[in-house]
Amino acid sequence: MHRQKFLLVSIMPHSLSDHEALIDLKELKALVESYGGEVVDLVTQHREVHDKGPYIGSGKITEVGELIAKQQIDTVVLNAIIHPGHLYDMKNSWFKQNPQIEVWDRVDLILHIFSRHAHTAEARLQIELAAMRHMGPRIYGMGHVLSRQGGSIGTRGVGETNTELMKRHWREQIKQVKDKLKKLAADRERLMQRRERIGLKTVSLIGYTNAGKTSLFNRLTGKKKYVKNELFATLDASVGKLYLPQLQEEILISDTIGFIRNLPTKLIDAFKSTLMESLHADLLLHVIDSKDPAMETKIEIVEKILQELRIADKKQIYIFNKSEGIDFQKIIQIREKYRKYAPLFISVKTGKGIEELLATLGNILPQA
Ligand SMILES: Nc1nc2c(ncn2[C@@H]2O[C@H](COP(=O)(O)OP(=O)(O)OP(=O)(O)O)[C@@H](O)[C@H]2O)c(=O)[nH]1
Ligand SMILES: [Mg+2]
């Protein structure tokens, strides 16, 4: 099958250093690749970004149009969260170059990745809800944003331009999906209460996407969940058992969706029920990719999202994964900087530090 060809467009405010801008673009590229697309070109511009008004000016519109024709671009991704109306206008202005052109913002891109990686009914519903909210009443149902992949994302369009009808349809659909999610959340809530009653301790793996949460989960529980060098490999919450010899008892451990910068609130909201496992955990294990040059920024982003979820006060241990071959100086530096979070250095790949992690859980959990 023909791999979808992508053109990335990024406006970079002057406040962003070159280093940060590069990290940002790399991540955008990694997102497109996680989706299965091929990045064939990139358009950047240094200027301030305005909340109102179009993301790019008329000069850039022409430049992008030319590239669409020359490089046979299928999809343009704008590295921001953009008003659906502006996306629609851009799509129209590039119609001549490619009548099938797709114009996505960051949320669209993430939603498309999500829809590829969703395996459970709950994850599909969460994506559907996020997509409907993102598209808004006017666009939803016209099938213009997420229609190509169809499948898991609701695009049963009303197929007419009656705005009132569309709005009503949109609201009804949202309500239906929300009700279904509420039921699932209630089931989960009951399950968590039961665990609490019987005194089962739970630990939740959280962290930036691709840090190695699922790899660690598999290692600890003996399960075989999907692990991939892709962003958002995991979308569903899963829970496994782990025996702690020190306590001579079993605990529960949960793995869930990873975080990312500029994760729109709409998406966090839609995934609340999945994240509930972390909201109820006795202890959070914050898994960090210690090989990542952007490690420190990513730690901050995760902390910010924990605050938004109001779980920043929960007891947390930092787990520096992928630390095979890490140099000693770096260990000392990290230990010092993150002392508050009792940092541990592990490698799921080599097994380094896993015993120590289990011992730490044995020590901490009785008090958690
Ligand atoms: N070098 C190295 N790579 C690792 C280690 N642990 C995991 N990985 C790799 O890191 C990548 C991401 O692993 P996952 O376990 O899917 O990461 P995740 O945090 O669950 O990612 P999402 O579900 O996408 O949020 C995979 O390619 C793993 O093979 C490690 O200790 N060392
Ligand atoms: Mg995962």
The 10s digit of each residue's pLDDT in 44-82 is 988 877 767 778 888 999 999 999 999 999 999 999 888
Q: Whose CA is nearest to atom 13 of ligand 1?
A: 212
Give the pLDDT band of residue 343 (cuts 50, 70, 90).
very high
Q: For residue 278, which of 259, 299, 291 has the smallest C-alpha distance?
A: 259
Candidate ranges 21-30, 58-67, 273-282; pick with highest mean pLDDT? 58-67
Give the pLDDT band of residue 121 (cuts 50, 70, 90).
confident
According to DSSP, residue 314 is labeled S
Rounded to the nearest integer, the mean pLDDT of the chain is: 86
Q: Whose CA is nearest to atom 1 of ligand 1?
A: 322
Q: Does the beta carbon of 353 sit less than 6 angstroms from any atom of ligand 1?
A: no
Per-residue pLDDT reduced to its tens digit, 312-326: 889 999 999 999 999
Predicted local confidence at residue 148, as pLDDT:
36
- The amino acid present at 174, given as its one-letter code, is I
Which positions ≥6 away from 29 have C-beta within 8 Å? 8, 39
Kindly report the length of the chain. 368
Predicted local confidence at residue 156, as pLDDT:
43
Among 217, 227, 235, 292, which is best to mutate for testing ligand 1, by the most ligand atoms less than 8 A from CB?
227
| Greater pLDDT, 224 or 330 | 330
Q: Does the beta carbon of 232 sit less than 6 angstroms from any atom of ligand 1?
A: yes
- The amino acid present at 62, given as its one-letter code, is T
Give residue 228 CA to ligand 1 midpoint distance, Å: 7
In ligand 1, the atom with minimum distance to the C-alpha of 233 is: 24
With 0-12 CB in 10 A as exposed, 13-18 as middle and 19+ as buried, what is 224? exposed
Give residue 60 CA to ligand 2 midpoint distance, Å: 37
Does residue 102 carry a pLDDT above 60? yes
CA distance 352 to 325: 10
Does residue 160 carry a pLDDT above 70? no
| 3-class secondary structure, 352 | coil
Does residue 192 carry a pLDDT above 60? yes
Name which of 41-55, 150-164, 230-244, 311-325 the model is least confident about.
150-164
Q: Is the pTM of this model over 0.95?
A: no
Q: Whose CA is nearest to atom 8 of ligand 1?
A: 212
H or E, element range at 127:
helix 121-139
